[in-house]
Amino acid sequence: MVHLRIVAPPDAAQHALELLCASESVSNVVHLAGAASKPVGDVVLADVAREDASVIVQDLRELDIPAIGSIAISSIETLVSDASQRAERHAAGLPSDAVVWEDVDSRSEELTELSGTFLAFMVLAMLIAAIGLLLDQPILIVGAMVVGPEFGPLAGICVGLVQRQRELTRHSLLALAVGFPVGIVAAFLFTLVLNASGQASGQFTPADHPLTRFISQPDELSFVVAFIAGIAGVLSLTSAKSGALIGVLISVTTIPAAANVGVAAAYGEWGEAGGALGQLVVNLSGIVIAGTLTLYIQRRLYVARRVRHLSDPSRAEAGLPLGESMRSKHD
């Protein structure tokens, strides 16, 4: 279930209350008249079946609630209620398959910010990967993959393309365009320092790191793995499965490949650097292509659900037209 907290002027709150009370997929509706002070108005609380959360929120958008008030959305971890169970049974589908698109948009925007923290994690991940390459230690490569924050902007690109959000796509591309070069330069300088201090060997060839040389040797399976990981990554984003997302981060060599470019460049091994750069491009492309396709399919399924919902009698209770949306887009 998903919890909604709506703040709106009395007239709009009354329409929202009528909509929520009439919907079979909503339970535990609470109306607090005059409880809001900024903006002045009423507060309406409700629990909605996760499967219908976005379609109900879209109805509230048609009532202009976001423009004159607000809608807060939060997930409910545990709810003991027969009424809520009936509401979930009424909503078609399974909660684990449902996508709350407002949550996806919010998480995507947060994950794509080009912040100091984002750059710090990029640099730290690259440095760990650089040490893993120099020591030929796969465990350090895995650690670098987990630390790397690059999947956020990659997912942001997918969401931006499917949702046609140019700003989100632009911010995501900017984060990657700045983050990867900064990380590569950091790995390059770090390797030079290690060489100058005698902490690294005097050469860096594939024969010197047999356990991690796959990073600079892309092949057909590299794209396959990235494609599969892109699907899993988007599914983890839309279903909030953080454990699955960690598995995605471990499976794709984006951070290690970028770090390999910097390490190989520091040694003047341009063939090795070129191979690592190719691996990076293959992995980034596979993730974005697969993620976009997966998200597109999920979005089409939601649009079909939204179109069916437009004929729900609960809309008429709130004064909304049946069979059509007052907004330009159903989704």
Which CATH number fits the domain that encloses residue 78? 3.30.70
User: Do 180 and 230 share a domain, yes or no?
Assistant: yes
User: Do 151 and 39 share a domain, yes or no?
Assistant: no
The alpha carbon torsion through 293, 230, 295, 242 (nearest 10 deg) reads 170
User: Do 86 and 125 share a domain, yes or no?
Assistant: no
In a domain, 213, yes or no: yes
User: For residue 49, what are the domain limits?
Assistant: 2-97
Model confidence at 248, pLDDT cuts 50, 70, 90, reads low
Q: How far from 174 is each of 108, 115, 122, CA to CA, in Å?
A: 14, 11, 14
User: Do 163 and 282 share a domain, yes or no?
Assistant: yes
Percentage of residues in the chain with pLDDT exceeding 90? 61
User: Do 73 and 90 share a domain, yes or no?
Assistant: yes
Q: Judge whether residue 147 has pLDDT over 70.
A: yes
In a domain, 166, yes or no: yes
User: Do 30 and 121 share a domain, yes or no?
Assistant: no
User: Do 260 and 212 share a domain, yes or no?
Assistant: yes
Q: How many domains in the chain?
A: 2
Helix, strand, coil fractions of the chain, as percent rounded to 5: 65, 10, 20
User: Do 133 and 35 share a domain, yes or no?
Assistant: no
115/237: higher pLDDT: 115
User: Do 18 and 135 share a domain, yes or no?
Assistant: no
Beta-strand ranges (E) seen in the chain are 2-8, 26-37, 40-48, 70-75
User: Do 132 and 279 share a domain, yes or no?
Assistant: yes
- Per-residue model confidence as pLDDT tens digits over 253-311: 799 999 999 999 999 999 999 999 999 999 999 999 999 999 999 999 999 999 999 98
Mean pLDDT of the region 189-205: 86
In this prediction the pTM is 0.85
Looking up residue 126, the CATH number of its domain turns out to be 1.20.1080
Task: DSSP for 222-258, please give it.
Answer: HHHHHHHHHHHHHHHHHHT-HHHHHHHHHH--HHHHH
User: Do 85 and 138 share a domain, yes or no?
Assistant: no
